[in-house]
Amino acid sequence: MQPILLLTILLAGANAALDCSVVPGNLKQIDAGDGAVYGAATNGTIWRWSSGNWVTVPGEAIHVSVGPAGVWSINKAFQIYKLQDSNWANVAGSLKQVDAGGNKFVSGANSWGGIYCLSQPAVLARPPPPAWVNIAGSLKYYSCGSLGCWGANALNAIYYRSGTSAAACAGSGWTYVAGSLVMVEASTDGRVYGVDSEGVAYQRDGITAINPMGTKWTALDFCSKIQHVSFDSGFLWLINQNGNIYKCQDSINDNSVL
């Protein structure tokens, strides 16, 4: 195992800093949620973070997600799978990106920009039935947390979806949020992070239960271009454009979502 490199990353314009370590390994995509971390490598292998090491998970995926709705993956044919009893169960439908961070509901986007979700009753069924709900609009990335869902479209415009719940995963309406991101991730506790087309990572400030959309984007001043980001249990996980993995913790305050 290679040595762990400790870094301090300043948050531009914010009274905070991130203590970061470079984690051994190489991934294309990463997702943290419900106390677990999973990732997908360029060659399609799936990995789970366990006791300070990456452990391979049988199967292949271009995208994997973990959260209150369990562990889900998408393969290169855009087929959908849910991890059940240590085996991947195929779920009818087609997505290119999936997110398990909602309140036991799943969401995602397909290759044509279609937006879909699977409500809690369907998620808990074994196996989940083909009960995907189509959500009006078009996105290339869609992610849900405890305080609503966030998405980025083909033009990198950002939108917030209000009114989502376990029983009504489709929600009730879109609100445009100023900024430009290629991907945006909503965490289980409601925090939101994203990455823009230049490889700059951002966190959304001012998120509370009363104001779930927050107030502004703050850039994370890395010396490396980022391609993917995820947050859970006090840790921010990032992957740069070379596939290197960073694990970061706020060293001054935890910017808790109220």
Q: Would 255 be classed as within a structural domain? A: no
Which of 4-8, 38-42, 100-104, 162-166 shows the lowest mean pLDDT across its residues? 4-8
pLDDT exceeds cutoff 70 at 3: no
The predicted model gives 95-104 an average pLDDT of: 95
pLDDT the model gives residue 11: 41
User: Strand, helix or coil at 111?
Assistant: coil
Q: Would 104 be classed as within a structural domain? A: yes
Q: Would 258 be classed as within a structural domain? A: no
Cβ partners under 8 Å of residue 254, min gap 6? 234
pLDDT exceeds cutoff 70 at 16: no
Question: Which tokens sit at 231?
Answer: 């947050």
pLDDT exceeds cutoff 50 at 138: yes
Percent of the chain whose predicted confidence (pLDDT) is above 90? 83
pLDDT the model gives residue 128: 86
Q: Would 47 be classed as within a structural domain? A: yes
The predicted model gives 127-139 an average pLDDT of: 94
pLDDT exceeds cutoff 80 at 134: yes
How many structural domains comprise the chain? 1
Measured in degrees and rounded to the nearest 5, phi and psi for residue 13 equal: 75, 10
Residue 212, domain CATH: 2.130.10.30
Q: Would 55 be classed as within a structural domain? A: yes
pLDDT the model gives residue 221: 85
Which pTM value belongs to this model?
Answer: 0.91
Domain assignment of residue 202, given as a range: 6-250
Q: Would 217 be classed as within a structural domain? A: yes
pLDDT exceeds cutoff 90 at 199: yes
Q: Would 1 be classed as within a structural domain? A: no
pLDDT the model gives residue 55: 98
pLDDT band at 18; cut points 50, 70, 90: confident
pLDDT the model gives residue 251: 56
Alpha-carbon separation of residue 101 from 12, 71, 118, 146 (angstroms): 27, 10, 12, 8
pLDDT band at 135; cut points 50, 70, 90: very high
The CA distance from 62 to 77, in Å, is: 9
Which of 13-22, 42-51, 97-106, 153-162 shows the lowest mean pLDDT across its residues? 13-22
pLDDT band at 238; cut points 50, 70, 90: very high
Q: Are 129 and 171 in contact (CB under 8 A)?
A: no
Q: Would 39 be classed as within a structural domain? A: yes
> Angle CA(16)–CA(242)–CA(95) in degrees, nearest 5?
90
The CA distance from 202 to 196, in Å, is: 8
Greater model confidence, 60 or 250: 60
Q: Are 237 and 32 in contact (CB under 8 A)?
A: yes
The predicted model gives 182-194 an average pLDDT of: 96
